Homo-oligomer: A and B are copies of this chain.
Amino acid sequence: MPAINFSVTARDKGARRGKLKTPHGVIDTPAFIPVGTAATVKTLDGEDLKRLDAQVVLANTYHLMLRPGPDLVERHGGLHGFMGCDGPIVTDSGGFQVFSLGWGLAHGVGKVAAMFPGDGQSATRSASSRSGKRLMRVGERGVRFRSHLDGSEHELTPESSVAIQQQLGADIFMAFDECTSPLHDEEYTAEAMARTHRWAERCLAAWTERRTQALFGIVQGGAYRGLREASARFIDGRPFPGVAIGGSLGRTKRDMRKVLEWTTPLLAPEKPRHLLGIGEVADIFMAVRLGVDAFDCAAPTRQARNGTVYVGPKNGGTPRNRFRLNVSAAKHADDPWPLDPDCSCFTCQNHSRAYVRHLFAAHEALGPRLATIHNLHFILELMRDIRKAIESKRLDSLAKRYGLS
């Protein structure tokens, strides 16, 4: 019995509208998957996610293996039972966070926080504060790393990542891969990609036991055309029910477009394609047009907690300002408008910018919560609009409404 079933129901040029059936329900694609790092989409409960019609969430294996640990989650019914969630769940492999821990050190990069899909900020802080100490070591067997929580030493291998993700019990889980950064050269990226491919085989071998969960292979290769194409062909050729595109997508939006242009044409059309860690409006349009079916990204929820909320093109949102407004700014102290006057979310139906700004100024937990509800609604509503636009072959005109050609 295959764990998932994917069908494309409509197309608009390269964009696909589909249905991804999982043991816990259907995901309409293109889909945005909110990130629930530590088995909670920060500030929200399960009812909130239902009201948002989120359909699916992604939890982070790295964080959950450290706290509360996979054995405990398994004893409580896997993530579905532990979180009290009856919809589809996705987990990542833990690789991205583990390798991100190492990048800051290897490249002397201080600001990799934005690249972390989970609460990478703490991992990054930890990486800097311990500089000099080796945080991560990769070998053929897997990766040894130190926890950002307490410095304790841990190991992740293809086999243990699969085993942990099977304990977590998500409907869709990811093969363990080595993530490279835009600062890695082609030689190292090629070496890491080859290792990722060998690990992919080991993940497939480890996966055979519990086929009710769907294992996605991950395409690597950085922003190097030859490597991306080789990786896409290799991963596509293996019996993964879905494919994720991971690792470095270069330094610019143009790089990202190229990586997708090289990759997606080589992937079997009948398999769903997930683009890891991407969630900006312009990037979503670009990737959907290049045939991507699913996204996950912590930015909408992390930005919400910092008081950055999304506004549509009718209310000041542009590709240039990335459809963002800083509601915690003093200029909104007396602003009677909703976050986005055309938004139908709970926050915008009930509260003004002045109130939300007051909550941020007073450090009230309700501020991040109301902003999170709004930002997720904004992105999920965008995905609903994108799906409708693909069905009626009007994706170009929807993009134009967002100021994107």
Contacts and interface: CB of A to CB of B under 8 A. Distances in A.
Interface of A: 38-40, 42-47, 63, 67-68, 72, 75-76, 82-84, 333-334, 336, 346, 350-352, 354-355, 358-359, 361-362, 364-366, 368-370
27 contacts: A38-B358, A39-B355, A39-B358, A40-B359, A40-B364, A40-B366, A42-B366, A43-B369, A45-B346, A45-B366, A45-B370, A47-B346, A63-B362, A67-B361, A67-B362, A68-B333, A68-B354, A68-B358, A72-B334, A72-B358, A75-B336, A76-B354, A82-B352, A83-B355, A84-B351, A365-B365, A365-B368
Contact of A44 (B47, B334, B361, B366): B366
Given A38-B364, A351-B84, A358-B39, A333 B76 contact: no
Copies per assembly: 2
A330 to B, nearest CB: 11
A185 to B, nearest CB: 37
Contacts of A43: 365-366, 369
Given A336-B76, A361-B67, A350 B38 contact: no
Which of A40, A82, A352 has the most chain B CB within a 10 Å cutoff? A40
Contacts of A83: 355
A312 to B, nearest CB: 21
A128 B354 CA distance: 32
A361 to B, nearest CB: 6
A40 to B, nearest CB: 5
Nearest to A334: B72
A269 to B, nearest CB: 39
Nearest to A367: B40
Nearest to A85: B350
Contacts of A336: 75-76
A221 to B, nearest CB: 34
